[in-house]
A and B are shown apart, each in its own frame.
Chain A
Amino acid sequence: APLLPPLSSTQDQKVVETYLMKFYDLKNETDSDPHRGVHQMTLKLKEMQQFFGLEVTGVMDSNTLEVMKKPRCGVPDLAE
C-alpha cells in the first residue's frame, strides 16, 4: 500500500498526541527524554485501544486513528 504522504502522517501524529494528552493524560515530556516519551506514548495508546475494544498493539493503525477522529465528549476517558 502507498505510504501516507509525509504531511498527513505528521498531521496524524499530531492528532494522536493531542488526543492522548487530552483524554489519556499523556504528559508533554517527550522533549526531555525521547525514549521515555516513546514508551509513554505506547502505554497510553494501548490504554486507548483497550478502552475502545480495538486490537491492543500500542502501535498506530488506521482503525485507531479513525476512532480518534470521531466527534466526542471532551471529558477524559480515565475517570481519575
Chain B
Amino acid sequence: YTTFPGNTKWKTNKLTYRIVNYTPDLPQSEVDRAIENALQVWARVTPLRFTRLYSGTADIMISFGRGDHGDGYPFDGPDGTLAHAFAPSVGIGGDAHFDEDETFTSRSSSGYNLFLVAAHEFGHALGLSHSTDPGALMYPVYSYTDPERFSLPLDDIRGIQSLYGPNPDVTPEKPDPEKPTPPTTPNACDPNLVIDGITTLRGEMMVFKNRFFWRVYPQSNQPELTLIKSFWPDIPDNIDAAYESIKADRVFIFKGEKVWALSGYDVVSGYPKTLSSMGLPATVKRITAALYDEVSGKTLFFDNKYYYSYDETKRQMDKGYPKLVEKSFVGMQGGVTAALQYRGFTYLFSGSNMHEFSSRSKKLHRVLRSNYFLGC
C-alpha cells in the first residue's frame, strides 16, 4: 500500500459526507446504499465514523459529472478513467467524483459496480494512494468482485490502519465472526506455495491460486500476477483444475461439477457445462487436476490418487479406468493437486511438491517446488 506524502490524513475521526447529485444509472436508494456500504468498508477497520449531510459542505462531497467537471481533471468518456478522489484536506480535499459517462451498476458484474469504485475512491479520500498489490482494493485497475462477499484485503487494512489505527470497537481476540480473515495475495516465492491449477495457453502458461493467476511468458522471467475476475468475471476463484486441449484449441477450467472453456483470453459461450460433458462418469463430483498428453493424444483427469483417461477424438473414456496414479507414474507421492505437460515432461503437483516425469517413459526425473515455473 502507499499513502500520500507526509501521510496526509484527517485530523478527526468523525467525518461528514454528502451525496451532491445522483447518476441516472441507478435508483437513488441504490446509490445511497452503495455509498454507505463503501464508507463502512473503512469504518469497520478504523476509528473513523461517517455522518451524512443533506446540505452545505461536508468533508467528503460525492458527485457525478462527465468530461470537464470543473476541477481541472476532466474525465474521458466511457471506460478508461472511472472516477477520482482527492487526498484529505480542506476544500476539494476528500471529495470523490464519478464519471457519469460510465454505466454504474449495483448488483451485476456488467458495467462498473458503484460500491467497488466508491470504496476505492474513499480510500483516497481518507489518505491512501495506490497499491501495487493486484489483490488490493487500492490497486488502480478495476476488477469485479461480488459485493455481497467483499472483504477488505489485508494490504488495505494495513494501509488505512497505518494512518488511523484499528477499530476500537472490535477486540482482536474476538474478531468479527461475520468477516472471514482478510484475503491476502499469494507470494510466488513462497517455498510452500500450493497451486490450484496450471495450464499452457498458446505458448504462455497460467498458474492459478485463490482469486489470482500468474501469467508466465516464455520470453520473460517476470510472471504477471492478475485477478482471475479482471479477465473473466464469470470464471470462479479457487479453481480445481485447468488444461489446454491442443486439439480443440481451448483451455478448460474446472470447479466442482462445472467446466468453463476459454478460446485464447475469451470465454466460450455455452459454458459452464458439467463434468460428464467431458466424458467423466456421473459418479465423479470434482477433479483435482487435468492435462493433455501429447504422446498418447489422451486427456488425463486426476481425482487425487486416481486418474481417468479420455480420448478426445472418440469423445469417450478409455476402458479400465480409474487407475492408481502411482501405478503409471512410479514415484508419485500424495494426491495430485495440479498437472501439466510441458516441453516433453509431465509435471504432477502434490501440495508444495512438483514431480517431473518424462512424458514418453513416465520415468520420474526430479521432485521440485510447486513455484518452479514462477521465476523465483
A→B interface (CB under 8 Å): 22-23, 51-56, 63, 67, 70-75, 77, 79-80
Contact = CB atoms under 8 A, between A and B. Distances in A.
Contacts of B4: 79-80
Contact of B120 (A22, A54, A73): A73
B224 A74 contact: no
Contacts of B120: 73
A71 B79 contact: yes
B222 A73 contact: no
Contact of A75 (B75, B129, B224, B225): B129
Contacts, number: 72
Contact of A73 (B79, B140, B217, B220): B140
A77 B5 contact: no
A77 B81 CA distance: 13
Nearest to A66: B265
Interface string B217-250: 1001010110000100000000000000000000
Interface stretch (B12-20, B82-90, B307-315): B82-90
Contacts of B5: 79-80
Contacts of A72: 80-82, 140-142
B159 to A, nearest CB: 11
B132 interface: yes
Contact of A67 (B85, B141, B220, B222): B141
Given A53-B224, A71-B142, 19 more contacts: A23-B140, A55-B220, A67-B141, A70-B141, A70-B142, A71-B82, A71-B141, A72-B141, A73-B120, A73-B140, A74-B81, A75-B85, A75-B129, A77-B130, A77-B140, A79-B2, A79-B4, A79-B129, A79-B130
